[in-house]
Chain A
Amino acid sequence: MWPTRSGWPPAGALAAAAAILALLAVAAPAAEIDPLRVIDSLGAMADFAGHLLVAPDWSYLPDLAAKMLETLAIAFLATVIAAVLSFPLGILAARNATPHVAVSHLTRQLLSVMRALPELMWALVFVSAVGLGPLPGVMALALVATGFLGKFFAETIEAVDTGPIEGVAAHGAGWLQVRRYAILPQVAPDFIGIVLYILDHNLRAATVLGLVGAGGIGYDMVMSMRLFQYDRIGLIALAIYVAVTVLDRASDQLRRRVI
């Protein structure tokens, strides 16, 4: 028996479960999910894993360090740029802080376009625009992150307590002053928290930008795969793992202290 009036599970939950099962039945063939194929390729996977058990190419370390630093720099730059840009955009997009509803709609539309394409697609676009290197990578990450941050920022502003806004406005504070003194302090902890998440995400995203020639460790990763340089692949994977984990822990700590 379920703790409902009829003793049956809630109709909504049943419907949701049925819908998910139906979608799975449609999606599995489309993605060519085939257990046999996975089992058949176990040998190949073991083979690949075996190749990784070679002495690492230590002479590659300085290069690796430089590439990892570049990857971190791309992620960090993109996050800072996005945080700065999303600040005014978030205020313009929030219905309770925007100078006009039309501005809010327009800004939301702009932010949604920024988010619509994944980083890798934007990177492709910018590589063809400004050429190979870390710059198009930074641009791509910053653009998508601005789209996310701006939207999140606007939503946080809309949930703000109106009391302090009246309290500050009633004493003659101007338009910008009200936003600075009454709204920003209220949203600051949430905003810092989400910026740290975005930094995490951007580091992960920056590791694959190299696939399309937009800088970072990704290029080396792809090239070593293509050239069967197994003595490098392991090192690269380990370096990415360490960087992502360390940043993840550090931002967790920081977030806990802010909120």
Chain B
Amino acid sequence: MSRIEIASVSKTYDNGVAALKPITVDIAAGSFVVLLGPSGAGKSTLLRTLNGLETPSTGEVRIDGEVLGRANLRAMRARIGMVFQQFNLVGRLNVMTNVLCGRLGKRSGLGSLFFLMRRSDLERGHAVLARVGLTDKAWERADRLSGGQQQRVGIGRALAQEPAVLLADEPVSNLDPATSREIMDLISDICRRDGVTTIVSLHQVELARRYADRVIGLNDGNVVFDGPVGDLTEEVLRRIYGDGEDGGEYGGEYGAEYGGEDEGGHGGDVADA
């Protein structure tokens, strides 16, 4: 259970692109937050500043009051799990080794450089694989697995470190709808049962409705909506996704519904938000 404070964090890349305008958000311990927004809205950038994969241009990130910085980066990362859109597994290593990569933050010994793991770590690895349903794949090469299975390994890796925070960057964008729901169920279970503060970026509105406690809508680097999932009205979605020209952006299901009700003229307030 960890509280996350994002204090006027902004990010401008070296090429001058302002991916994030100053954002201030306070995330309660144990909550399930979904970041919603079109491509390029800054969802990934925001998530990546939370574990130091990006360094904010201004502002700071605090986890349980501790400011994330260069000096404590490794220790902080050891408490923060991350699940990626492209899974980011080491394909040539077996599933178990990939999962045990989650333990590396707590193991600095020379042994870890020779793949020597502690018995307790291996036991943890087995327990994690049982939870993500991959016990029988433990000794297979990670790149031999299907996309859904690889994402389960990715979640296993995050679980292996016994995280206080779980970040998931578009974890289901490369998966079919049925697999997407399985993966989201798994992430949701980790949040609810283990009390892990979870932040997931998504572009599917229906998944956000189904799993989130709280939705933060981003557009062009600004927070344009922040509230409980119940407040996610049509008008709000228009604010998040613009005035419908790129309605196809967030999934066919909603896109069709959206296109029919297009009133236009409401996109203007996005820029001021």
A170–B82 CB distance below 8 A: yes
**Contact across chains for A167 and B88 when beta carbons are under 8 A apart:** yes
Judged by a CB distance under 8 angstroms, whether A143 is at the interface is: no
B101 interface hit (Cβ, 8 Å): yes
Does any Cβ of A come within 8 Å of B75's Cβ? yes
| Residue numbers in A under 8 Å from B93 (CB-CB) | 181, 185
Give the A interface residue count (CB, 8 A).
20
Interfacial chain B residues near A7, Cβ < 8 Å: none
8 Å CB contact of A172 from B84, B86, B104? B104
Smallest CB separation, B71 vs chain A (Å): 14
Contact of A185 among B51, B86, B90 (CB under 8 A): B90
A186 touches B104 (CB 8 A): no
Q: Are A172 and B75 in contact (CB under 8 A)?
A: yes
Q: Which residues of A contact B104 (CB under 8 A)?
A: 168, 171-174, 177, 181
Taking the complex as formed, is B77 at the interface, i.e. its CB lies under 8 A from any CB of chain A?
A: yes
**Is the beta-carbon distance between B105 and A173 smaller than 8 angstroms?**
yes
A176 at interface by CB-CB < 8 Å = yes
CB-defined contacts of A173 to chain B, threshold 8 Å: 101, 104-105
Q: Is the Cβ of B113 less than 8 Å from the Cβ of A177?
A: yes
The reply to whether the CB of A68 lies closer than 8 angstroms to some CB of chain B is: no
Q: A51 in the interface, Cβ–Cβ < 8 Å? A: no
Question: Does B241 sit within 8 A of A, measured CB to CB?
Answer: no
Q: Which residue of B lies closest to A168 (CB)?
A: B101
B204 smallest CB distance to A (angstroms):
22
Q: Mask for B77-103, Cβ within 8 A of A = 1, else 0?
A: 111111010111111110001000110
Q: CB distance A167 to B105 under 8 Å? A: no
A181 to B78, CA, bound (A): 16
Binary contact track A145-167/B, C-beta < 8 Å → 1, others 0: 00000000000000000011011
Check if A171 sits within 8 Å of B82, measured CB to CB. yes
Tell me if A166 and B53 are in contact (CB < 8 A): yes
CB closest chain-A residue, reference B77: A172
1/0 contact string of B107-120 vs chain A (CB within 8 Å): 01000110000000
Q: Mark A211-242, 1 if CB is under 8 A from B, else 0.
A: 00000000000000000000000000000000
B161 touching A167, Cβ below 8 Å:
no
By a CB distance below 8 angstroms, the chain B residues around A189 are 92
A169 to B54, CA, bound (A): 12
Contacts of B81 in A (CB 8 A): 171
Name the residue of chain B whose CB is nearest to the CB of A180.
Answer: B113
Cβ-neighbour of A166 out of B88, B91, B106, B158 (below 8 A): B88
Contact present for A171 and B90 (CB under 8 Å): no
B residues less than 8 Å from A182 (CB atoms): 90
From A179, which residue of chain B is reached at the shortest CB distance?
B113
Residue in A168, A171, A173, A189 with the greatest tally of chain B CB atoms within 10 Å: A171
Q: How far is the CA of A203 from the CA of B53 in the complex (A)?
A: 47
Task: Indicate if the CB atoms of B105 and A164 lie closer than 8 Å.
Answer: no
Q: Hey, which chain B residues are within 8 Å of A163, CB to CB?
A: 84, 86-88
B83 CB, nearest partner CB in chain A, Å:
9
A29-52 to B contact mask, C-beta < 8 Å, 1/0: 000000000000000000000000
Residues of B within 8 A of A172 (CB): 74-79, 104-106, 161
Q: Among B112, B154, B161, which residue has its beta carbon within 8 angstroms of that of A177?
A: B112
Q: Which of B80, B87, B105, B106: most chain A CB closer than 10 A?
A: B105
B87 to chain A, nearest CB (A): 7
Q: Is the CB of B113 within 8 A of A176?
A: yes
Q: Are A164 and B77 in contact (CB under 8 A)?
A: no
B93: nearest residue on chain A (CB-CB)? A185
A135 at the interface (CB under 8 A from B): no
Interface residues of B (CB under 8 A from A): 51, 53, 74-82, 84, 86-93, 97, 101-102, 104-106, 108, 112-113, 154, 157-158, 161
Query: A163-B88, A167-B87, A185-B93 given. 19 additional CB < 8 A pairs?
Result: A164-B89, A166-B84, A167-B84, A167-B88, A167-B154, A167-B157, A170-B51, A170-B53, A170-B84, A170-B88, A171-B77, A171-B101, A171-B102, A172-B78, A174-B108, A177-B104, A180-B112, A181-B90, A186-B90
